[in-house]
Structure 1
Amino acid sequence: PPQIQVDLSPLEELEQAIYVRDITLSPGITIMTDPEQLVAKVSVARVAKVEEVVTEEVVAEEAAEEAKEGEGEAEG
């Protein structure tokens, strides 16, 4: 078949995984890939942590800009 659909609903907890060996196939179909090949795994998204760091940097930059603007107004 051109594609094989895999039900991911059994993956409910972190670190659970589906491997090639776990896929149920129609009769007459054989997967030639290593049965230990990982198909899907539940893990924590790492993007959220990156966004927090970026947000902290933006806040620091904005505070520095506001401080500069405040100095300019006090001089004028």
Structure 2
Amino acid sequence: MTDREYEKMMVEAANGRFKIEAVDAQIKAHQAALDYLNEYRRELINRYDLNKCTHDFDYNPKDMSGQCVKCGAIKR
């Protein structure tokens, strides 16, 4: 391996590290945006009580016990 080949290889390695750092910075920025949006989504769900089931029971006519067809809750 000549000096020039070695220098070329080292320059390419340095450029590769720089590109990886740039991609890592983009990932970090996108992850921060994703974290913010997930938190905002949770906030909206809680604000409008969207995580609460409005049970729709399917009743058993023998004993009038039933199970919610949406969430699976059992009513005895």
TM normalised by structure 2 equals: 0.47
Greater RCO structure (CA 8 Å; 6+ sep): 1
Structure in which a larger fraction of residues adopt helix: 2
